[in-house]
Amino acid sequence: MNDISHILSTCRRIAVVGISSKPDRASNGVSRYMMRAGYEIVPVNPMETEVLGLTCYPDLASVPGDIDLVNIFRRTEDVPPVVEEAIARGAKAIWMQLGIVNEPAAERARAAGLAVVMDRCLMVEHMNQG
């Protein structure tokens, strides 16, 4: 499941960690695009209560139901705890957005059986698939 096209075709429910309610932020724009493309977006940010008209959860542990993909919009040093939460929740994949690279966290996720993408934009990769 390490192939980007496989992730995009099988991971339909995306938890977006670090999403912002500000429309000019990348996390908001990428999530809006993915919603229009037919994906279910689950906002995760302890500083928000609602984003894109959706309930925003403080952490992955609070999200009801299954999570396929965890899309991370956080600083590189903040990635490891998010990966641990994703593993605990049984996510299938971790996606670290453009500019985010954390090899130890990626190795931890892979060792737990999750697919990992780093330093790539989910929206751009989805656009390139079409």
Question: How many C-beta atoms surround the C-beta of residue 55 within 10 A?
Answer: 13
Residues 6+ apart with CB under 8 A from 72: 17, 18, 79, 82, 94, 95, 96, 97, 100
Q: What stretch of H or E contains 124?
A: helix 122-129
- For the entire predicted model, the pTM comes to 0.96
107: containing domain: 4-129
1 pLDDT band, cuts 50/70/90, is very low
Tokens of 121: 């934009």
Query: What CATH number is given to the structural domain containing 96?
Result: 3.40.50.720
The residues, any chain, with a CB within 8 Å of residue 116's CB and separated by 6 or more, are 2, 93, 94, 95, 96, 106, 109, 110
Beta bridge partners of 17: 44, 72
Using alpha carbons only, give the angle 79, 82, 88 rounded to the nearest 5 degrees.
145
pLDDT digits (tens, 9 = 90+) for 83-92: 999 999 999 9
d(CA 107, CA 36): 32
Q: What does the pLDDT look like over 63-106, one tens digit per residue?
A: 999 999 999 999 999 999 999 999 999 999 999 999 999 999 99
Residue 117's beta-bridge partner residues? 95
Of 89, 69, 70, residue with least CA distance to 78:
70
Number of domains in the chain: 1
